[in-house]
Amino acid sequence: MNETYDLRSEAESHIEVHKFHAGAIVFTLVIIFFLQAFLPQYFHSLAILDLPLLVTIYFGLSRRNPSTGLLLGMAIGLIQDSLSGPTVPFGLYGIAKTIVGYLASSIGARLDTEHPAARFALTILFFGVHQGILVLERRILLAQPEVWFSLHLAIAALINAVVGVFLFTLLDRLRKPS
């Protein structure tokens, strides 16, 4: 994952590709996974947040490189799998976040995703895609019953989108000045 790598196509040259300071992504991932594992211990309701997904979306939208996005998503997903205990097989979150990373960078390459409203809507969209892929995996690959939709998931999507808007603004500070 080369933070300065840029794969913009000529057709998409009008959309800015953001570069990050060296180690910013790794540092962000460490912090995010620490918070994801740590916060619910003290604030149980914060377990509803999927911070790794938000980071996947953010870096996908910012880097606008599908290959980088899907690889970063896969790495984040596999780390999440490995931290989720033995009940979650390797690849469950990995596949979901690989696809989300790919979609986010593909969309980011075609749209301007800097506006908070766009970020809010895209986060809800990707949360739904992520959840849908998880349900498919559980139902098809693992033969586990899983609901497609619930009120809890809808609330989780909204909360993650709201948090995402603020988190993305915070992560914008890690960008190199253009």
Residue 65 Cβ, how far from another protein at the closest point, in Å?
8
**13 is an interface residue for another protein by CB under 8 A:** no
Q: Among 14-22, 59-67, 118-126, 163-171, which window interacts with another protein (CB under 8 A)?
A: 59-67
What phi and psi, each to the nearest 5 degrees, are found at residue 96? Answer: -60, -45
Give ∠ CA 32-128-153 in degrees, rounded to 5: 80
Binding mask 65-94 for another protein (x = CB under 8 A): xxx--xx--x---xx--xx--x--xxxx-x
Distances (CA, A) of 103 to 4, 5, 129: 20, 18, 10
Residue selected from 2, 10, 13, 42 as contacting another protein according to rule CB under 8 A: 42
**43 is an interface residue for another protein by CB under 8 A:** no
Binding mask 93-112 for another protein (x = CB under 8 A): -xx--xx--x---x------
Residue 9 Cβ, how far from another protein at the closest point, in Å?
7
Tokens at residue 4, please?
Answer: 């300065």
- Evaluate whether 111 touches 131 at the Cβ level (below 8 Å): no
What phi and psi, each to the nearest 5 degrees, are found at residue 164? Answer: -60, -40
Residues 6+ apart with CB under 8 A from 104: 56, 57, 59, 60, 61, 69, 73, 122, 126
SS3 109: coil
Residue 117 Cβ, how far from another protein at the closest point, in Å?
27
SS3 112: coil
Number of residues forming the site for another protein (CB under 8 A): 32
Q: Give the footprint of another protein on residues 129-148 (CB under 8 A).
A: 137, 141-142
Under the rule (CB under 8 A), what is the footprint of another protein? 9, 30, 33-34, 37-38, 41-42, 65-67, 70-71, 74, 78-79, 82-83, 86, 89-92, 94-95, 98-99, 102, 106, 137, 141-142
